[in-house]
Structure 1
Amino acid sequence: MPERPSARDALALVTDDFAELPSPGRDGQPDGPLAWPGYDASRARAAARTGEEESVVCGRATVGGTPVVLIAFEFGFLGGSLGEHTGDRLEAAHVHARERRLPVVSLVATGGSRMQEGMLALTQLQRVARQSALTRAAGLPQLAVLRDPTTGGGWATLGAGADVVLALPDAQVGFAGSRVRPPDADPAAYTAQAQLAAGTVDAVVRPGELRETLGRWLSLLTAPSAEPAPVPGALGRVDLPATGWDAVRRARDPERPRAHAYLDAYFTGRAAISGDRCGGTDPDGMLCGFGTHDGRTIAYAAQTGTATRPAGYRTAARLIRLADRLSLPVLTLVDTPGAANDADAERQGAGAAIADLFAAVATARTPITTLVVGEGGSGGALALAAPGNTWVTPDSYFSVIAPELAAAILKRPPEQVRQTADRLRVRPQDLVALGVVRGIAGAAT
């Protein structure tokens, strides 16, 4: 088996100017706190082999022009395991980051907690989690790069707890390490690609692209702004529909511009987050991430015209809360016939996911701007809409429920669906008159 890249190798992938932080001092006991026979000798051999004094190396650097605190695990030092000295270094790194208002980037490669220190090693996870929470509360972004392997408590704290999680291809990633899994466990489930599919990793990045990708993310997440996102211009028709049914037909037109077209026109560059961190993704129904518009970072959550899955709502809520914490404005694009209502959606917690998104929007302190670009179908659309700052395009509609379903509920015959659409007052101009939206977006320039 080839030797795994060292902490210094990982640092060289992302920066050229790493300056190590001073290591916190701690009076050690012979063979550690448990007096584990041979522990001092194991540490000495690990130090001689790797050139490091502990399983993590912490310091300051610049990545893509952004000053950061970098944490790199040395897997060759006792499997990158966490002990008390590791906790000392990780805590000092986060304190340094908060004092100097710097983001934290962790290059993780660990097998978990150190057996030779017993429960004292395991409790370092609580210590690390607290430091991460304090850094989060300070409004500073945390990014993780998952190397091979990323398992145990290191994955469950610095890895999975980061705001943006990137992974190297084929890295072993999972809470259970290879020696403690059930004998019949599918090894493919414990990979970076599997974690991406499960919604716990945002992207798998090749080593040669890591520096550029991290630099782009850091640039996007460290540019707070108090100004709301400008309303995008309408990309479709600019004339207004004559009837409610005309509005519905135009919004359902397969040739109408969709989310991808609006995002491409609005942003000069963007980076996507993926997944709800609960085991789900909705790549066909909800697009979320951060982009650059007129030199400013703006977060986005955009429905794509399909029925939105529970994972899509949870991903959007995650996006809005992250943007709120980093003081970045949010743009949401509404376009869905409604929330997915199949049996699987109910099993996946559709109601709870929608409720969580309503709460994220309602409690956000950062400004949110919404544009309805197509169908605005019931609560599944309204959950993504900003109260008091929602706009519509001329080829969109917003309705308490689809006209066909409204007619069915009211026990009206199918031939009255068009009349029902008119009575619901779903046209853009009706929504303005009712005070439901602020205005109708003009043509994009």
Structure 2
Amino acid sequence: MGEFRHRAGCAPGHGGAARNAAAVRRAAGRCAAARSHGAGLPETAARALFPGRVAGPHALHDRKRRLSSQNLSREELVGLRLASHRLVSPFSTRRIEQAVQWSGAVQAQEYTHARWAIGSRFAPAASATDTSIEQAVAKRKVIRTWALRGTLHLVAAADVRWLLALAAPALLTRTAASYRDAKLDAAAFRKILPAVRQCLEGGQQLTRAALFEELARRRIDTGGHRGGLILYRAAQTGLICLGLPSGKQATYTLLDEWLPQPAEAPEPSREDGLKRLAQRYFTSHGPATLADFTWWSGLAAGEAKAALEMALPGLSEALHAGSTVWWSARTPVPSASPISTPMVHLLAGFDEYLLGYTDRTPIIDKAQAGKVMTPNGLFRPALLVDGRVAGTWQAETREGALVLSVAPFAPALLSRKAGAALQEAAQRHAAFNGLALGEIRNGIAPK
């Protein structure tokens, strides 16, 4: 690997398997050696080696020109992403909201999978369970609402308002045509949003059908796509969020009643919010590109670029496959594990490890991508071996025990040692759901 740069000291991130750890450790050593010799360099050379230490802030296009010879291999990128996503070095705390906050936001239209996506980032000793995550939602430490990209996410309570404010302008611009087609203009919402408030006042938590029935009594048309667009706008403006599920159905409630805003906790400025979101993304998802962050955040391209530029002082950077990638300069180098020990993870459906990028080829081969990511936008639960997608899985409960069915893309992907690691991963998933592990079955990967 060529040397890579970072803005806040030479402490690059790490991977999980020993080959990832060793590669990153070698790069760290070269970075430290270069730093030790940098003091005697001419200013022009020092500026090229250590941007931010000799010169002031640099625009992104200037930095890209100086990175042409610094490359991060796929193995190194995968190792760093495993670390950033806390799939290695998982959380030892029991604070569910901390894991959610680390990720920036966790996609959550599939609520069951979203809970496992959070739980899988905790060490077994932390005892994060499906029940403890539901309790965090019930205690309003974590909020479920339409946040980034207009998609349902789980968001830490402390972040929900500034995230909504940050995401709303670009989202409302992108959906303007849909609102026009549904005849939902500003004048219509001056009537509709107060009616939604009236329906939910007093701590009401109503299902979609019950809320639409109440709106109909107030002569608000929710037919066709109008009902969904009304809920979407009400959430984007911070009027509503999701409450506790009613059976398998979501409920809606007033955000200000569900989560009263403390008077002593002012929201960050838009500029501070942009910087904070970029820091969260590249810390929890890096190495990643500007295009990845722009898509994930849903921000306008100019704002996403400005956000990254503000976050640069805490980021490392390198080239991967011809594109500049960034990640947190504070990601620690792990202790080495035996090379013969494979890593197996059971990724949730819509897991950020796979979902949170525009280019997913470092994680999954193009030939296999359709078996995990469907044409209609679904992300199946993925079987991860040494940081790359090696198949799919699903779980069901039979006679009080969890039965796991795995479908590797090729039988050789699950060696005997990988099978032992799979057993351990399956035990973790069963414990998360409060179940004993029944059996592990080999299935056929979907076509």
Please indicate the TM-score interval, normalised by the length of the shorter structure. under 0.3
State TM-score, norm by structure 1: 0.24
| More strand by percentage | 1
Structure of greater relative contact order (alpha carbons < 8 Å, 6+ residues apart): 2
State TM-score, norm by structure 2: 0.24
Q: Which structure has the larger Rg over C-alpha atoms?
A: 1
